[in-house]
Amino acid sequence: MVFDRANVKQLAAGEFASIDNEVDTTTGTVRLRANFDNAADVLFPSQFVNVQMLLDTLKNVVTVPVAAVQRGAPGTYVFVVGEDNTVSIHVVSLGPQDGGYYAVDAGLSPGDRVVTEGADRLRDGARVTIPAPTAAGAAPSAEPQHGRHHRGDRPGTPGDSSGGDDADAAARRERWRQRHRQDNPDSSGNPPAPPAPKNP
């Protein structure tokens, strides 16, 4: 199949015909030949196109994300998460890659859980924590979200109308009342009067 320069729109479909036996030494590539009927006249000489060619169809194979595959002293391996949330190294034999996945010829079974992030900090037998999935469309937040302050209001006072969390607003009002009582013991809103001078 032939796609346009943006690799979005399919222009035509054809059949592979032959392969050149000469390697281009400047690019390390070989030329392939295919036949297209070009009934819609969308192909022309020296046109840049993207080609996708189906080589084989693999059925009932185990696949693994590319991000899970590690390479090191054991060879090509992945970290598999067990039932007790400990990881173990599984050496794998990889097949062809399609997009973000490898076909696995040996080393994994269907349903195995593999580590795709933070594998550089793991070792064989380490325990991992798997975070709970978040609700779809809900943005996780580490802090409670407060509403906006209305014009003229000041947060942390009894007149706070921020629309935020009720418990936080009540705590702020109580702290304000305590400071107010310390600064104004008579609760009149005025600072305490200085002591009267004593007669000599």
CA distance 185 to 114: 65
25 domain residue, yes or no: yes
User: Do residue 7 and residue 40 come from a single domain?
Assistant: yes
10 domain residue, yes or no: yes
190 domain residue, yes or no: no
What is the CB neighbour count within 10 angstroms for residue 101?
17
Tell which residue, 131, 132, 129, 133, has the closest CA to residue 85: 129
Which residues, given as ranges, of the chain have pLDDT below 50? 137-164, 187
186 contacts: CB under 8 Å, gap ≥ 6: 192
User: Do residue 80 and residue 46 come from a single domain?
Assistant: no
| Residue in this structure with the two tokens 């400990």, named with its chain if needed | 86
Residue 130 pLDDT: 77
Q: How many folded domains does the chain comprise?
A: 3
Residue 82 sits in a domain whose CATH number is 2.40.420.20
Indicate the pTM of the whole model: 0.49
8 domain residue, yes or no: yes
Tell which residue, 72, 56, 65, has the closest CA to residue 102: 65
CA distance 117 to 35: 44
Residue 100 pLDDT: 87
User: Do residue 46 and residue 78 come from a single domain?
Assistant: no
Residue 116 pLDDT: 86
Length of the chain: 200
132 domain residue, yes or no: no
- Residue 51's region, left for phi above 0, alpha for psi from -120 to 50, else beta, is beta
What amino acid is encoded at 98 in this protein?
A: D
User: Do residue 16 and residue 38 come from a single domain?
Assistant: yes
Q: What is the DSSP string of 49-94?
A: -EE--------S-EEEEGGG-EEETTEEEEEEE-TTSBEEEEE-EE
129 domain residue, yes or no: no
Residue 194 pLDDT: 55
What digits encode the pLDDT tens for the residues 124-182?
888 877 777 665 544 333 333 333 344 444 444 444 444 445 667 777 777 777 776 66
87 domain residue, yes or no: yes
Asked if 12 and 52 touch (Cβ cutoff 8 Å), the reply is: no
Residue 152 pLDDT: 40
139 domain residue, yes or no: no
Residue 184 pLDDT: 57
User: Do residue 46 and residue 66 come from a single domain?
Assistant: no
Structural domain span for residue 112: 62-121
